[in-house]
C-alpha cells in the first residue's frame, strides 16, 4: 500500500518518528506541496495524509487509486467531503488532540496582555530596572483577571477547558453556546453574542469558522463593546474582519488583540493586523506542542488501522 504525506513539515519538522504509519505500507513524505504538484505526487497513493493541502472534485477525478485521506488536524474544511464520498474516498480527522495545549495557549495570550511579561523582561535586559531609584518600576499597568467578565464564544472541548482554567482565578465566566444553561458547568452563565461583546472585559473565540460567521467580528459589532475590550482569537483568523479590528485598535475601542491565527497564513507583509497597535501575535503554534503532535500522529495511525480492518474511526464524510 502506498501512503503519501503531502505536507509533513508542519506536523513533523524532524522531532518525531513516522514508524506508526510506516508499519502499514510504503510512506513517502513531502515537507510541502504546491497545488500544481498534488496530482503528480499523489497519483499512485492509496492513502493521502495532509494538513493544509486542499483537495476537491478536480483532484479526485485524477486520483483513481485514492481510498483514504487522513487529515492531520481537527478541522477538515480543506477537503471537499461530499466530492470525496462520490469517489468512494473516506476522510478522517483527529478530534480533540490539542484541547489542553490550545487552552493553555489561550491563557498565555490573556496573561501576555495582562501581565506584560515580555515587555518587562525586555526592559530589564535593557537595564531599566538596574537604573530604577526604587525597588520596582512599571510603565504599563498589570491587570488582574479576578472579577473580570470573560466571555467564551464557542463552548466545545477547548472553550469549556478555557473556562475550567479561568474559574479558579475568580473571573466571571460567560458562554456563547448552543448548549442550554443546565448543561454548562457551575459558575458559567449562558449569554447571547450581543451581550457577550457588549458587557465583557475579555472575549475569547473558540468557535469553528463557517460561511455564516466569517468576519462576524466587524465594525458594527465592535461599536457595541466596552472601550478597551481585550479580544482573544485562538480559533480561526477568518472570524474577524482584519481591517475593522485594526481600526478599532487604533481608536482604542479595542484595548488589545491577542491571536494565534490570521486570515492569511503566512501573512503578507502588509496584513492589517501586523501594523496595528496593542497586538499580541503568535504564528499558529497553539496546537503544536510535541505532546499534542504525538497524540495527533497516534490517532492518525489508529484511523488508518481501523480503515484497513473495515471499520470507521473519526470519519467526517
Separation between Cα atoms, residue 3 and residue 100, nearest integer Å: 30
Long-range contacts of the stretch 171-174 (C-beta < 8 A, 24+)? 171/145, 171/146, 171/147, 171/202, 172/147, 172/148, 174/149, 174/150, 174/199, 174/200
Active site residue 206: no
Separation between Cα atoms, residue 166 and residue 203, nearest integer Å: 13
Q: Which member of 41, 143, 243, 284 is catalytic? A: 284
Q: Which member of 206, 236, 293, 295 is catalytic? A: 236
Mutual angle of helices 117-125 and 99-115, in 10-degree steps: 60
Separation between Cα atoms, residue 235 and residue 218, nearest integer Å: 16
Active site residue 37: no
Question: Alpha carbon 184 to chain centroid distance?
Answer: 23
Active site residue 118: no
Q: Which member of 22, 57, 118, 265 is catalytic? A: 265
Conformation bin of residue 262: beta by default, left when phi > 0, alpha when psi is -120 to 50: beta
Return the sign of the alpha-carbon dihedral for residues 219, 261, 71, 55: positive
Determine the longest span between alpha carbons in the chain, in angstroms: 74
Contacts for 81 with CB less than 8 Å, ≥ 6 apart: 91, 316, 317
Nearest to 230 by CA among 164, 157, 141, 170: 141
Residue positions annotated with a catalytic role = 236, 265, 284
Amino acid at each position: 500500500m502506498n501512503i503519501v504525506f503531502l505536507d509533513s513539515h508542519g506536523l513533523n519538522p524532524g522531532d518525531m518518528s513516522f514508524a506508526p504509519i510506516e508499519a502499514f505500507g510504503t510512506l513517502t513524505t513531502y515537507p510541502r506541496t504546491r497545488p500544481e504538484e498534488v496530482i503528480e505526487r499523489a497519483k499512485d497513493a492509496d492513502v493521502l495524509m495532509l494538513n493544509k493541502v486542499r483537495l476537491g472534485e478536480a483532484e479526485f477525478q485524477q486520483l483513481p487509486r485514492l481510498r483514504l485521506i487522513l487529515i492531520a488536524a481537527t478541522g477538515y474544511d480543506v477537503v471537499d467531503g461530499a466530492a470525496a464520498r462520490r469517489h468512494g474516498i473516506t476522510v478522517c480527522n483527529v478530534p480533540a488532540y490539542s484541547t489542553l495545549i490550545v487552552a493553555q495557549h489561550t491563557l498565555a495570550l490573556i496573561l501576555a496582555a495582562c501581565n506584560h511579561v515580555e515587555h518587562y523582561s525586555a526592559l530589564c535586559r535593557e537595564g531599566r530596572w538596574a537604573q530604577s531609584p526604587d525597588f520596582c518600576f512599571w510603565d504599563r499597568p498589570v491587570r488582574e483577571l479576578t472579577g473580570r467578565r470573560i466571555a467564551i464564544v464557542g463552548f466545545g472541548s477547548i472553550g469549556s477547558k478555557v473556562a475550567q482554567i479561568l474559574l479558579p482565578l475568580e473571573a466571571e465566566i460567560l458562554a456563547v453556546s448552543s448548549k442550554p444553561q443546565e448543561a454548562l458547568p457551575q459558575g458559567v452563565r449562558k449569554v447571547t453574542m450581543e451581550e457577550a461583546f457588549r458587557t465583557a472585559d475579555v472575549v475569547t473565540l473558540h468557535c469553528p469558522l463557517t460561511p455564516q460567521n466569517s468576519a462576524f467580528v466587524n465594525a458594527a459589532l465592535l461599536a457595541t463593546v466596552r472601550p478597551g475590550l481585550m479580544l482573544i482569537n485562538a480559533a480561526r483568523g477568518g472570524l474577524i474582519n482584519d481591517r475593522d479590528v485594526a481600526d478599532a485598535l487604533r481608536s482604542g475601542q479595542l484595548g488589545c488583540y491577542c491571536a494565534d491565527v490570521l486570515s492569511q497564513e503566512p501573512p503578507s507583509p502588509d496584513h492589517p493586523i501586523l501594523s496595528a497597535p496593542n497586538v499580541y501575535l503568535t504564528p499558529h503554534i497553539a496546537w503544536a506542542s510535541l505532546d499534542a503532535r504525538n497524540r495527533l500522529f497516534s490517532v492518525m495511525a489508529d484511523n488508518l488501522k481501523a480503515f484497513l480492518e473495515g471499520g470507521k474511526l473519526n470519519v467526517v464524510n
